[in-house]
Amino acid sequence: MTAKGKLFLLPLPISTGEIDKSITPFERSLIKKLKYFAAENIRTARRFISSLNEEIVIEDLIFFQVDKKTDQQKVNEIINLIEKGNNVGMMSEAGCPGIADPGSMLVDLAHKNNIGVIPVSGPSSMFLALMSSGFNGQQFEFCGYIPVKNPSRKVAISKMEKKASSENITQIFMDTPYRNNALFNDILANCNPNTFLSISCDLTGENEFIKTMRIKNWKKQTIDLHKKPALFLFGQCL
């Protein structure tokens, strides 16, 4: 009987070109040994592997798309491949696969089929933002995308602001990049002037910007977050 393969969870850089800031030597050497990849975006995955400059022949690799439109039957094909003894590397569009991305379906099926899952360390914008906030990292919540429309949007902001201040549970959230400036203004308009807000923008990138201060001080600041990847955090300072 052939031993089963494994599912390797491979993070990608969160800012283009920043390979050495993002990828460990372990991940690099692992990718050199893999033939099969499950990718949220095959083009991004190919480009990433090629950017490693490891003399890997991209044409010899086999890619499977796993995104939110992929049905379980397609994912089962990948599981079968692993069952037969092949290792598969799973890649998100950016950052850690399986977090805020559709790859968790493949991880779930791997567990159900008793296949080993091996996570590899790499960049996560959420974690970099949390580390850099100065807020409580003992208890925190990633709330994902904030609702687009009011009153849900205002309610969500107010709920997170309250949870951060009264329970000291750091609240991490985001919006689609083209709505970042609107979100920033919504926060300024609706929050207590003494509430602490941390913003992390273009993490690991050329225009990385990280700042934590009270809402009343943010009001004095001019920033442009338009179409830039950003995370927003409410929390308490010591």
Residue 17 one-letter amino acid: G
Choose between 24 and 185: whose C-beta lies nearer to a second copy.
24
Choose between 6 and 46: whose C-beta lies nearer to a second copy.
6
β partners of residue 171:
141, 234
Of these, 3, 25, 73, 222, which contacts a second copy (CB under 8 A)?
A: 25
- Residue 60 C-beta: closest distance to a second copy, Å: 25
Kindly give the residue spans of alpha helices, DSSP state H, lying in the chain.
19-22, 25-33, 42-51, 72-83, 104-112, 125-133, 152-167, 180-190, 215-218
* DSSP notation for 88-117: EEEE-SSB-TTSSSTTHHHHHHHHHTT-EE
Binding mask 115-154 for a second copy (x = CB under 8 A): -xxxxxxxxx--xxxxxxxxxxxxxxxxxxx---------
Q: How many CA atoms lie within 13 A of 86 on its CB side?
A: 17
Of these, 42, 61, 99, 182, which contacts a second copy (CB under 8 A)?
A: 99
Choose between 60 and 81: whose C-beta lies nearer to a second copy.
81
Under the binding rule (CB under 8 A), the answer on residue 224 touching a second copy is no
Q: Residue-wise over 118-152: b if at least 16 C-beta within 10 A, else e?
A: eebebbbbbbbbbebbbbbeeebebbeebeeeeee
Question: CA–CA separation, 39 vs 97, rounded Å?
Answer: 9
Piece in contact with a second copy (CB under 8 A), picked from 34-42, 56-64, 184-192, 209-217: 209-217
Under the binding rule (CB under 8 A), the answer on residue 107 touching a second copy is yes
Under the binding rule (CB under 8 A), the answer on residue 205 touching a second copy is no
- Residue 227 C-beta: closest distance to a second copy, Å: 21
Piece in contact with a second copy (CB under 8 A), picked from 76-84, 98-106, 146-154, 226-234: 98-106
What φ, ψ does residue 157 adopt, rounded to 5°? -60, -45
Piece in contact with a second copy (CB under 8 A), picked from 59-67, 112-120, 153-161, 221-229: 112-120
Q: Which residues of this chain interact with a second copy, rule CB under 8 A?
A: 9, 18, 20-26, 29, 96-101, 104-105, 107-112, 116-124, 127-145, 169, 198, 203-204, 208, 210-213, 237-238
